[in-house]
Every structure is written in structure tokens, then in C-alpha cells.
Structure 1
Amino acid sequence: MSSPDRRGGCALCRDARPLGFDFSYAFQPIVDVQARRVFAHEALVRGVAGEGAHTVLSRITDENRYSFDQACREKAIQAAAGLHIASQLSINFYPNAIYRPDVCIRSTLQAAQRHGFPIERIIFETVEGEKVSDGAWLAEIMREYKRMGFKTAIDDFGAGFAGLNLLADFQPDIVKLDMALVRGIDGSPSRQAIVAGVVAICEALRIDAIAEGIETADEARCLADLGIRLMQGYWFGRPAFEAVVQDAQIPWLG
């Protein structure tokens, strides 16, 4: 997909059509294994009755992508406020749906104010698997979000534009390691070496690293030994539909 036309941003905000379908959210915890607490909850799209994300995402087209992105932000904040989420809130966004971040963020700011959710507890995370054709444009979006007071996160670090070239030009608050690096890491010296290198880079750049997709205690222990303290995956908690996982429900490492 080609780079967005920055000139179209105001028209999209003004002329965006109603989405035409509804959806809800499940929330999955991201845990701090050192502090033994929930660091954040990631808002994950679901159908209104809890159906899988694909039942919603399969309805996204180039024509409604912008409206969907806007609705996602507002609905995630509303749902998090209704559940009294006290941790940070990670909201996925579509870089290819953003035209002028300073303009397109207005409805998000209004939603945060309306529901009393502090913007400093909102993390904007690139959508998993979203192919971005312009790394410089992605960096520009994230830089604007940081300027406004939001936190920023790059998903799938190590794949596509979510890699070292991006970090050379822009340092997000958080990088989420590509799941392929995490799966089975306890038995893979090569993955361990790569993750150790990423951890060192993140420490030097003052970026938090999150390992996602953790399914076993052995994977979690290995990652902790490599210096990862923020983790996400089924081992710690599955996405809870219209609910949140509390600290007491987390199976902490011994």
C-alpha cells in the first residue's frame, strides 16, 4: 500500500461514514514479573458476543478502515473506563488508516476526557501483521503520539519495518518481540542470543521490551533470565471478554 496522502486527513475526519457494524473487546494482561503486577491490558477486538477477532477484522476494507480505526480507539477507552482498569491500556492502531495524526487523534482525546481515562496510561500499539509500506511515515505518527503524551509500542519487532532501521530514527517507549523469537526459546540457543542482543539495545535506548506469545513456564523463566520483565501470553492469562485479569489470577513464576 502506498504512503497515505496527508492532504486527505481533514476530509476523512469530516466525511467518515458510520461503520455499519458493532464489536466489543477482550482484555489480555501484560505482566511485570519482577513487580508481580499487571503492567497493562491490551484491548483485543471481538464480536459483540465474544466471537473471534477474525469475525470483525474480515469486514475491514480500504473504504471503512479509517472509521474502524477511530471507533476502535473510542470504544477501547470506553470499555476500559467501564471496567475500572487501573493499569495502562494498550490500543492497537492502523498506521495505514492515519493521515494526519494531529487531526485524527482528536476523537481519541475527547473519548479519554469524556470517560476520565488519563492519556498517560494509554499505549498506542501498531496492529499485529499490519504491513506498513513507509517506515518514515510510521515513525512520524509515533513521534506525534509521544509529543501528545501517549506511550507508543511497536509490535512484531524483528519483522518488516518493526526492526533496527526504525529504531535508528525513532525510539518508541516499548517494543514487543516477534512471537517467532519467543516460541520455544528455552530450547533454542540462537533465539536466546538474538533476544539477549535486543534486550541490550533496548536498555541502551531506554526502551521497555515485552515478550508476547508465552505459553509455558519454561519460556517465561528463560526470558526472565535474559532480562525480560514484561511478558504476555496464555501462560499468564488468556484474553478475558469484557473483563480484566487481576494480579491474584496470574500464575507467577516461582
Structure 2
Amino acid sequence: MTAPIRADAASPGDDSVFTMAFQPIVDLARREIFAHEALVRGVAGEGASEVLARVGPQDRFAFHEASRVKAIELAAALGMESRLSLNVMPNDVAGQEACFRTAMAAAARCNFPVQRLMFEITEGERVDDLPGLAATFRIFKRYGFTSAIDDFGAAYAGFELLAAFQPDVVKIDMSLVRDIHTDPVRIVIVKGLVATCDELQIRVIAEGVEAAEEVHALRALGVDLFQGFLFAEPAIAALPVVAWDAA
């Protein structure tokens, strides 16, 4: 059986415990990389869910902190010139400052510009303190980083979160993206979301794109930012090459 990961074993420099992969988010209109999302991986290539299953509840926040620091260290070492997208759990942020301060300190130490950091609030858990989450993000936005709501439409109160806090970016969950070109209902839903985001001056990313037909349908709705295997799979401790002509 694989040993559980403890907080004291999840130090940023301990490459025997975990590592990070990077997947590009592409701007097709400009043919440039908008950001790279940092994704937790095991040192043998295990997925994030398998790695996180080995982290006890009492160590979860410390592990997330260590993951963000490792992502910044690797991004700087690889010479990443795009934004670096870091995942944050909403209840780790609400009313707290630690995850922002830790990431900004790591960026300063690694000479990675704070303005190139992007924090994604995942919809993977219910938000216990929505006003606190919104207030913390507003306070730290003055440092110039990009804010995002991840997995929009996947679970919980996406529109409630959007009403409380207007980020720079909204990432449409792959459940709405998959085969959208064959589903008139999803087209209507995404069309409405894109229109809402346009009114609020929020950019939209389509996650999990795997088919050129999905991209064509989404571009017709006004989406220009894409992330998915169609363009590049995540690469462990490396920046993958983008298949620009895949769509």
C-alpha cells in the first residue's frame, strides 16, 4: 500500500512525494498561450485524484500550499512566459490570506512576476463563506494577478459565486463543452453564459476540448480561449508543444 502524504512530507522541494504537470490554455484568435494550468501529479505519473487520496484532511491545506509553491518554482525554472494558473479551494481562501501570500512570496523568491499568476477557484466544494471569499479576492486583486472561476456549471452555486465576485475569467466545465456541436440545449446554455460574461467584461475559457467540431461551435458563440487534449495534453515538469492547427 502507498504511504499517505503528510503535511511535513509535502515540502515544495521534496520531489519524492509529488510533482506538477502543465497544460496550456490557448488563445486561438491571437494564436498565443494565455496561461498554463498547474496540475498535481505523482512522481510515477499518477493523476491528481490518486495523489490527493493519499493526503489526510488535516494536511490538505498544507499540501495545496506546497503544490502551488512547487508549480511556481517549476514554472520559473522552465522559463514560462505565460500566466501560471494555480487552483485554490474556496474554503481555503474565504476570509484568509495565506494562499495568496505564500504564492506571492514564492514568486518573488523565484523572480516570477506576480502579475503572471492566475488563481482558479474550483467549484469542487460548497462555499461556506461566500462574502469572505469575495472580500479576500477583492483585497488581493490589487497585486495584479488574474482571477478565475473553474469548472463553471459542474456543481454547486456557480451563478451565486459569479454574482458575489466577478473574476477576470470563467472556465466552462467540460460537461457543457463535450459534444456541444451536437446538442442544441448546451449551445443555448453556453451562449447565455458567454453573453453574461461579455456584459461583465469576463473572458471565457472552454475546458476539456477534444474535437475540432467543439471548437468551431464554441468559437461561433464567441469563445476564443481553449484548454484540452485537442491542443495539448499535460506534460510533467515541462511545457508541452501546442497543436495550433488541430482545429
After TM superposition, the score normalised by the length of structure 1 is 0.86
| Structure 1 residues 164 and 73: CA distance shift in structure 2, 3 A | same
Give the counterpart letter for 1:198 in structure 2: L
Equivalent of 1:55, from 40, 50, 55? 50
Equivalent of 1:141, from 136, 140, 151? 136
Bigger mean CA offset, 21-30 vs 137-146: 137-146
For residues 66-91 of structure 1, the C-alpha deviation after alignment (integer angstroms, 9 at most, x for no partner) is 21121111111001111111111101
- SS of equivalent residue, structure 1 residue 251: helix
Give the counterpart letter for 1:167 in structure 2: L
- SS of equivalent residue, structure 1 residue 38: strand
Query: Which residue of structure 1 aligns with residue 199 of structure 2?
Result: 204
- SS of equivalent residue, structure 2 residue 45: coil
Quick check: 1:41 aligned with 2:36?
Answer: yes
Give the counterpart letter for 1:47 in structure 2: G
Query: Which residue of structure 1 aligns with residue 235 of structure 2?
Result: 240
Query: Which residue of structure 2 aligns with residue 18 of structure 1?
Result: 8
- SS of equivalent residue, structure 1 residue 154: strand
Distance 1:94 1:59 in 2: 17
| Structure 1 residues 161 and 141: CA distance shift in structure 2, 3 A | farther
Quick check: 1:70 aligned with 2:75?
Answer: no
Query: Which residue of structure 2 aligns with residue 191 of structure 1?
Result: 186
How do residues 124-163 of structure 1 correspond to structure 2 at under 5 angstroms?
Answer: 124-127=119-122, 129-163=124-158
Bigger mean CA offset, 49-58 vs 35-44: 49-58
Give the counterpart letter for 1:250 in structure 2: W
For residues 74-133 of structure 1, the C-alpha deviation after alignment (integer angstroms, 9 at most, x for no partner) is 111001111111111101112223465334432212110111111111100123623333
| Structure 1 residues 185 and 56: CA distance shift in structure 2, 3 A | same
Distance 1:217 1:175 in 2: 21
Distance 1:142 1:208 in 2: 17
Determine if contact 2:171/2:205 at 8 Å carries over to the other structure.
yes
Query: Which residue of structure 2 aligns with residue 4 of structure 1?
Result: none
Quick check: 1:173 aligned with 2:163?
Answer: no
* Unaligned segments of structure 1, at least 5 residues: 1-15
Equivalent of 1:113, from 108, 117, 121? 108
Measured after TM superposition, the shift of residue 45 of structure 1 is 0.3
Query: Which residue of structure 2 aligns with residue 216 of structure 1?
Result: 211
Give the counterpart letter for 1:163 in structure 2: G
Distance 1:17 1:214 in 2: 34
Distance 1:202 1:41 in 2: 22
Measured after TM superposition, the shift of residue 252 of structure 1 is 4.2
Distance 1:95 1:134 in 2: 9
Quick check: 1:227 aligned with 2:217?
Answer: no
Give the counterpart letter for 1:187 in structure 2: T
* Unaligned segments of structure 2, at least 5 residues: 1-5, 11-15
**How much is the aligned-residue C-alpha RMSD, in angstroms?**
2.0
